[in-house]
């Protein structure tokens, strides 16, 4: 029997548990991926801000052992152009569209949530409280009171399902997760890039203009798997978790799922293998067949039981 990969994240029904991670997919750059995008459980845009953003000066990325560093600076068209142009391309796909928003102030988030509230076809809003590349972005995700304050206001601004993407740049994620849940988050996306730095040994200076950059790719995976495990143990009975960080294939995805994630997102590895997402979907089916599991939901958090 063909395994059933359908899963519900908060209130959002996905045909399968594999999505792209924000900022790591070709659609916003006008590229067409090499596979039928219907293979995606859902699609996430690069985080959008209220106004157009030029982004950081180069270099913006550096390859490092086991992953990459990025300091893009949330380059983008701003919410109005996003809604009028990019979003239409996403919605035309006919799969759940999760709109990621970012900002430097409370008003940045609220203004965008209000605009998106009028667009009934989007599946969820993913609130990025964690981007380490923009000065003000770090603040919300590292303090539980700020997370609560922001998310409870965004909750009032929209009736869309609300997902909150947390930062791994904390020693304990549980207080942030609880705060987001108490404020009305229906899913917690765990997690964004890990703060890092690269030194140019010829110039004897940090390589990036903003000194710090976000580390992503296979080497960060065990860090985020542990955060997923902790948050699931604390509040996994009340809120859905989406695992993200370093996933290459179905085996990696299964680690997150067994740790407590209902779904996963693949980011950096799309650059190495543009077919990583459809391969992961097929690989999860094979895993389920091998384990003789028919319902995907039975696997969520199984490492705890
Ligand atoms: C080039 C690049 C751009 C990114 N842009 C965003 C973004 O706009 N918003 C966001 O929430 N995360 C962004 N991220 C973080 C990813 O969505 C993801 O959380 C992180 O890279 C860990 O997953 P991965 O190891 O599979 O890439 C970006 C990551 C990369 C590498």
Instruction: Read off the pLDDT of residues 231-258 as tens digits, 9 standing for 90 and up.
Output: 999 999 999 999 999 999 999 999 999 9
Q: What pLDDT score was predicted for residue 132?
A: 45
Catalogue the E-assigned strands of 48-161: 61-64, 67-70, 97-101, 124-128
Kindly state the average pLDDT of the residues 189-200: 96
Query: Could you tell me the end-to-end alpha-carbon distance of the chain, in angstroms, rounded to an integer?
Result: 26
Closest CA to 132 of 195, 179, 70, 85: 195
Q: Which of 14, 131, 277, 288 is catalytic?
A: 131
Residue range 161-184: average pLDDT?
97
pLDDT value of residue 74? 82
What digits encode the pLDDT tens for the residues 11-61?
Answer: 999 999 999 999 998 666 555 567 888 899 999 999 999 999 888 889 999
Torsional sign, CA 29, 7, 247, 214: positive
User: What mean pLDDT value characterizes the chain?
Assistant: 93
The domain that contains 281 carries what CATH number?
A: 3.20.20.70
**pTM greater than 0.85 (yes/no):** yes
Nearest-10 Cα torsion for 216, 222, 223, 228: 110
pLDDT, residue 191, reads 97
Going by alpha carbons, the residue nearest to atom 23 of ligand 1 is: 245
pLDDT in tens, 63-80: 999 999 999 888 899 999
- Across residues 195-211, what is the average pLDDT? 95
269-286 as b/e, with b when 16 or more CB fall inside 10 Å?
A: bbbeeeebbbbbbbbbbe
CA-to-CA distance for 152 and 196, rounded, in angstroms?
Answer: 30
* pLDDT band at residue 1 under the 50/70/90 scheme: confident
Which residues span the domain enclosing 171? 7-55+73-194+217-304
Q: What's the pLDDT at 2?
A: 86
Average pLDDT of the residues in 201-217:
95
Residue 228 maps to a domain: yes
CA atoms lying within 13 Å on the CB side of residue 36 = 4
For residue 146, the Cα-to-chain-centroid distance in whole angstroms is 20
Give domain status of residue 62, yes or no: no
What is the spatial distance between Cα 196 and Cα 204, in angstroms, rounded to a whole number? 17
Q: Which residues contact 13 (CB under 8 A, 6 or more apart)?
A: 6, 7, 96
Residue 263 lies in a domain: yes
- Taking the centre of ligand 1 as the mean of its atom positions, its distance from the CA of residue 20, in whole angstroms, is 9
Q: Which two tokens stand for residue 184?
A: 């009305």
DSSP 8-state class, residue 117: H
244 in contact with ligand 1, CB cutoff 6 A: yes
Number of domains in the chain: 1
Which residue out of 18, 19, 22 has the highest number of ligand 1 atoms within 8 Å of its CB and is therefore the one to mutate? Answer: 22
If you measure from the C-alpha of residue 13 to the centroid of ligand 1, how many angstroms do you get, rounded to a whole number?
A: 23
Q: Could you identify the residue written with the tokens 């699931």? A: 232
CB of residue 246 inside a 6 A radius of ligand 1: yes
Q: Does residue 221 fall inside a structural domain?
A: yes
* Structural domain includes residue 64: no
137 pLDDT higher than 50: no
- pLDDT for 28 equals 60
Residue 208: pLDDT over 50: yes
Whether 24 is catalytic: no
Q: What is the full DSSP assignment across 62-91? A: EEETTEEEE-----B--HHHIIIIIHHHHH
Kindly state the percentage of the chain with pLDDT values over 90.
85
Q: Could you tell me the two tokens for 12?
A: 């959002």
- Segment 135-149 shows an average pLDDT of 78
For helices 250-259 and 276-291, give the axis angle rounded to 10 degrees. Answer: 60
Diameter of the chain measured on Cα atoms: 60
Residue 258 tokens, joined = 């067994």
Looking at the chain, how many residues does it have?
Answer: 305
Q: What's the pLDDT score for residue 30?
A: 53
Determine the pLDDT at residue 54. 84
Residue 65 lies in a domain: no
Rounded distance between C-alpha atoms, residue 236 and residue 159, angstroms:
22
**pLDDT by residue (tens digit) across 93-136?**
999 999 999 998 889 999 999 999 999 999 999 999 985 444 55
Residue 157 lies in a domain: yes
Q: Is the CB of 23 under 6 A from ligand 1?
A: yes
Q: Mean per-residue pLDDT for 157-177? A: 97
Q: How confident is the model at residue 272 (pLDDT cuts 50, 70, 90)?
A: very high
Query: Does the residue 176 lie in any domain?
Result: yes
Going from the Cα of 290 to the center of ligand 1, the distance in angstroms, rounded, reads 31
């Amino acid at each position: 029997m063909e395994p059933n990969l359908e899963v519900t994240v908060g209130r959002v029904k996905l045909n399968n548990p594999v999505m792209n991670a924000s900022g790591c997919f070709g659609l916003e750059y006008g590229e067409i991926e090499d596979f039928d995008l219907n293979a995606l459980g859902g699609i996430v845009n690069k985080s959008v801000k209220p106004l157009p953003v030029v982004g950081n000066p180069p270099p913006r990325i550096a390859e490092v052992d086991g992953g990459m560093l990025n300091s893009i600076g949330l380059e983008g068209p701003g919410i109005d152009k996003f809604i009028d142009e990019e979003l239409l391309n996403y919605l035309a796909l006919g799969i759940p569209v999760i709109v990621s928003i970012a900002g430097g102030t409370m008003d940045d988030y609220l203004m965008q949530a209000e605009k998106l509230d009028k667009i009934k076809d989007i599946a969820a809003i993913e609130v990025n409280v964690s981007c380490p590349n923009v000065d003000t972005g770090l603040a919300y995700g590292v303090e539980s009171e700020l997370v609560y304050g922001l998310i409870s206001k965004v909750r009032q601004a929209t009736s869309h399902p609300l997902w909150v993407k947390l930062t791994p740049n904390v020693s304990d994620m549980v207080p942030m997760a609880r705060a987001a849940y108490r404020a009305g988050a229906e899913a917690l996306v765990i997690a964004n890039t890990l703060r890092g730095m690269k030194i140019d040994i010829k110039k004897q200076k940090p390589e990036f203009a903003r000194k710090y950059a976000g580390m992503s790719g296979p080497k960060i995976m065990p860090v985020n798997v542990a955060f997923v495990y902790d948050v699931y143990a604390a509040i996994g009975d009340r809120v859905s978790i989406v695992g993200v960080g370093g996933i290459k294939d179905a085996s990696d995805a299964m680690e997150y799922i067994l740790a407590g994630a209902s779904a996963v997102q693949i980011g950096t590895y799309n650059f190495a293998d543009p077919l990583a997402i459809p391969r992961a979907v097929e690989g999860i089916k094979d895993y389920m067949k091998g384990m003789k599991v028919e319902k995907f939901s039975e696997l969520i958090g199984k490492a705890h039981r």
